[in-house]
Amino acid sequence: MYSAEQSSSRGESKMDLSNLRLMNAAGWCKDVATVRKLSRTPVVEITVGSITKETRPGNEGSVFWQSPDGTYALNSLGLPNPGIEKYREILPEMQAIANDAGKALRVSIAGFSPVEYAELAHAVAPHADVIEINLGCPNVWGEGGQKPIASFDVSLMREILDGVGKVTSGIDVDVAAKVSPYSDPGLLAKVIDLLKMFEFSVSEVVTSNTFPNAFAWDGEKTAITAGGGFAGMSGRAMKGIALGQAQRFRSELPFIAGEDDLPAMETVGVGGITCGRDILDYMRCGITSLQVGTHYFVHGEKVFSELLAECAELV
């Protein structure tokens, strides 16, 4: 299984770039060619997916839009991917490429029931260094409208985490839970309490996914085609929200072995990172593991070396 010096820095909060675990966010890397490109960047982990059980073509029409001033973006991809059977074939190659480059392969999974999440986790575990459970995708639509978002149903989250924990028990793979942003402090507290129940099976919480049900006009038409134009919001404008979420989780979840010898549960920050200053702001909150999504999609793999160079100039 993958091992690298960067992994030993989990939980440290010094303004020391050697502690930084930089990675791409899920959504934009789905094939071997993209894994190979990311293997040549400074990311410590390469995130693939999200992967679903069945093949999904994704939503039709306009699925990504960025505001003219670049302050925010909307996306409604609809989880396009070739399905788990195809990934059974290509995940070994993906992991080999990542590991040979000294990086971990993080595999994001998205089920439509607790059983599907468990099946997906069991299928990808042999060829993943980290399994990231996508609990917050807001962009899946069907005949009945928008599909429920698991992040906002604590009982459903418990079933999913329990099922994934059972099938990954005894396997050398880390498990991360990626959640939506929570504006309701009561719900956030319940989610934190839930995660504490899974301290021995979930090693990371990834916060946060896109903000659901954002909307914009592109001239006289909706910026996004699917779902009546509603989409997940990301980009620079998400920084304050995502930073607040990360600060709350980081301050309330165990992150290092303590008096009770609890295992680490790290907070991975994602949202609004476009420059080195953004990374340092997360690090000031004690967040040394970070994902970059929209900025990477818009500007390509070069952003990771650019971000690190900007950080180096500031510290």
Which tens digits make up the pLDDT trace of 100-116? Answer: 999 999 999 999 999 99
Pairing of strands 130-134, 21-24: unpaired
Task: Write down the pLDDT at residue 6.
Answer: 42
Task: Report H helices in 101-238.
Answer: 114-124, 154-168, 185-197
Task: Write down the pLDDT at residue 7.
Answer: 40
Task: Write down the pLDDT at residue 12.
Answer: 37
Q: How far is CA 47 from the centre of its chain?
A: 8
Q: How far is CA 297 from the centre of its chain?
A: 14
Taking only the tens place, the pLDDT of each residue in 46-92 is 999 999 999 999 999 999 999 999 999 999 999 999 999 999 999 99
Cross-strand bridge partners of residue 47: 106
Res 141 pLDDT > 60: no
Domains of the chain: 5-58+78-209+236-314 (3.20.20.70)
Q: How far is CA 199 from the centre of its chain?
A: 19
Task: Write down the pLDDT at residue 19.
Answer: 87
- 180-215 burial by CB neighbour count: b if 16+ within 10 A, else e? bbbeeeeebeebbebbeebeebbbbbbbbbbbbbbe
Task: Write down the pLDDT at residue 199.
Answer: 84
Cross-strand bridge partners of residue 51: 109
Res 9 pLDDT > 80: no
Task: Write down the pLDDT at residue 146.
Answer: 65
Are 163 and 118 within 8 A, CB to CB? Answer: yes
pTM of the model: 0.91
Give CA–CA dist 192/215, Å, rounded. Answer: 29
Element (H, E) at 248: helix 239-252
